[in-house]
Structure 1
Amino acid sequence: MWEHNTLDGPEKDRLDKKKIACKGLNMSVDVDLGETEEPDDAPVAIDSRDPDDFLAKNAFRVVYQTNNFLLPQIRDMIDRREAINLHPEYQRRLRWTTAQKSRLIESLLLNIPIPPVFFYESDAARYEVMDGQQRLNTIREFFSGSFALSGLKVLSPLNGIRYPKAPPRVKRTLDRASISAIVLLMESESEISGQGSLGLTDIRRLVFDRLNTGGMKLNAQELRNAQNPGPLNEAIIELSRYSLFTDVFGIPPYTEKDPEDYYINPERQKNSLYSTMKDCELVLRYFALKDDANIRGSMKSMLDRAMEVRMTPEEAAIAREEYKEQFKFLYEIFDGRPFSVASRTDGRERVSAAVYDAAMVAINRLWAKRDLIKSEKAAIAGRIQSAIADDDKYEILVGRGNTAESVRDRIELLQDILHHPA
Structure 2
Amino acid sequence: MTQEIDVLMGEPDEEVQSLIENFPITDPDEYFAKSAFRIVYQTNNFFLPQLRDLIDRGEVLNIRPEYQRRLRWNISQKSKLIESLLLNIPVPPVFLYESDAARYEVMDGQQRLNAVREFLAGEFALSSLEVLAPLNGLRYYSCPPRIKRALDRASLSAVVLLLESESSKNPGYADLRDIRRFIFDRLNTGGTKLNAQEIRNALNPGEFNRLIIELTRYDLFTKTFDIPEYTESDPSEYYENAKRQKNTLYSSMGDCQLVLRYFALKDEGNIRGSMKAMLDRAMRLQITAHERQKLEIEYKERFAFLYQLFDGRPFALPEDENGRQRVSAAMYDASMVAIDALWPHRNDIFQDSQGVLERLHKAHQDPALSHVLTGQGNTAKSIKERIDLLKNIFRQE
Any conservation in 2 of the 1:117–1:181 contact (CA below 8 Å)?
yes
Any conservation in 1 of the 2:70–2:252 contact (CA below 8 Å)?
yes
Structure 1 Cα separation of the partners of residues 200 and 17 of structure 2: 21
Task: Look up the equivalent residue of 1:331 and give its one-letter code.
Answer: Y
- Which residue number in structure 2 is paired with residue 223 of structure 1? 199
Structure 2 Cα separation of the partners of residues 184 and 41 of structure 1: 23
- Which residue number in structure 2 is paired with residue 264 of structure 1? 240
User: How far off its partner does 1:193 sit?
Assistant: 8.8
CA gap of 1:363–1:33, structure 2 versus 1, over 3 A, is same
CA gap of 1:352–1:256, structure 2 versus 1, over 3 A, is same
CA gap of 1:151–1:42, structure 2 versus 1, over 3 A, is closer
User: How far off its partner does 1:124 sit?
Assistant: 2.8
Measured against aligned partners, the alpha-carbon deviations of 1:242-273 in whole angstroms (never above 9, x if no partner) come to 11111111111111111111112111111111
CA gap of 1:63–1:152, structure 2 versus 1, over 3 A, is same
1:158 aligns with 2:135: yes
Counterpart pick for 2:76 among 95, 99, 121: 99
Any conservation in 2 of the 1:189–1:198 contact (CA below 8 Å)?
no
Task: Look up the equivalent residue of 2:331 and give its one-letter code.
Answer: V
1:71 aligns with 2:48: yes
Any conservation in 2 of the 1:190–1:199 contact (CA below 8 Å)?
no
Q: 51-60 or 135-144, which moves further after superposition? A: 51-60
CA gap of 1:96–1:365, structure 2 versus 1, over 3 A, is same
Any conservation in 1 of the 2:9–2:254 contact (CA below 8 Å)?
no
User: How far off its partner does 1:203 sit?
Assistant: 4.0
1:138 aligns with 2:139: no
- Which residue number in structure 1 is paired with residue 307 of structure 2? 331
CA gap of 1:405–1:200, structure 2 versus 1, over 3 A, is closer
Q: How does 1:151-300 map to 2 (within 5 A)?
A: 151-185=128-162, 188-191=164-167, 194-195=170-171, 203-300=179-276
Q: How does 1:121-132 map to 2 (within 5 A)?
A: 121-132=98-109
Structure 1 Cα separation of the partners of residues 196 and 279 of structure 2: 9
Task: State, as a whole percentage, how many aligned pairs show the same letter.
Answer: 59
CA gap of 1:358–1:399, structure 2 versus 1, over 3 A, is closer
Give the 3-state SS of the residue equivalent to 1:181 in structure 2: strand
- Which residue number in structure 1 is paired with residue 332 of structure 2? 356
Structure 2 Cα separation of the partners of residues 207 and 400 of structure 1: 35
CA gap of 1:346–1:269, structure 2 versus 1, over 3 A, is same
Give the 3-state SS of the residue equivalent to 2:390 in structure 1: helix
Q: 28-37 or 79-88, which moves further after superposition? A: 28-37
Q: TM-score normalised to the size of structure 2?
A: 0.92
Structure 2 Cα separation of the partners of residues 137 and 184 of structure 1: 20
1:312 aligns with 2:288: yes
User: How far off its partner does 1:192 sit?
Assistant: 7.7
Structure 1 Cα separation of the partners of residues 283 and 157 of structure 2: 34
CA gap of 1:322–1:414, structure 2 versus 1, over 3 A, is same
User: How far off its partner does 1:163 sit?
Assistant: 1.1
CA gap of 1:245–1:41, structure 2 versus 1, over 3 A, is same
Structure 1 Cα separation of the partners of residues 243 and 253 of structure 2: 15
- Which residue number in structure 2 is paired with residue 301 of structure 1? 277
Any conservation in 2 of the 1:120–1:127 contact (CA below 8 Å)?
yes
Counterpart pick for 1:87 among 49, 53, 64: 64
Any conservation in 2 of the 1:29–1:249 contact (CA below 8 Å)?
no
CA gap of 1:89–1:296, structure 2 versus 1, over 3 A, is same
User: How far off its partner does 1:329 sit?
Assistant: 0.7
CA gap of 1:291–1:379, structure 2 versus 1, over 3 A, is same
Measured against aligned partners, the alpha-carbon deviations of 1:217-238 in whole angstroms (never above 9, x if no partner) come to 2211111112222211111111
Q: How does 1:108-119 map to 2 (within 5 A)?
A: 108-119=85-96
Give the 3-state SS of the residue equivalent to 1:340 in structure 2: coil
Structure 1 Cα separation of the partners of residues 358 and 177 of structure 2: 52
Any conservation in 2 of the 1:35–1:401 contact (CA below 8 Å)?
no
List runs of 5+ in structure 1 lacking aligned partners: 2-27
CA gap of 1:133–1:29, structure 2 versus 1, over 3 A, is farther
- Cα RMSD (Å): 2.4
Task: Look up the equivalent residue of 1:271 and give its one-letter code.
Answer: N
Structure 1 Cα separation of the partners of residues 319 and 202 of structure 2: 36
CA gap of 1:392–1:202, structure 2 versus 1, over 3 A, is closer
CA gap of 1:176–1:283, structure 2 versus 1, over 3 A, is same
1:40 aligns with 2:14: yes
User: How far off its partner does 1:323 sit?
Assistant: 0.3
Counterpart pick for 2:362 among 386, 397, 409: 386
Structure 1 Cα separation of the partners of residues 9 and 251 of structure 2: 18
User: How far off its partner does 1:155 sit?
Assistant: 0.7
Q: 91-100 or 48-57, which moves further after superposition? A: 48-57
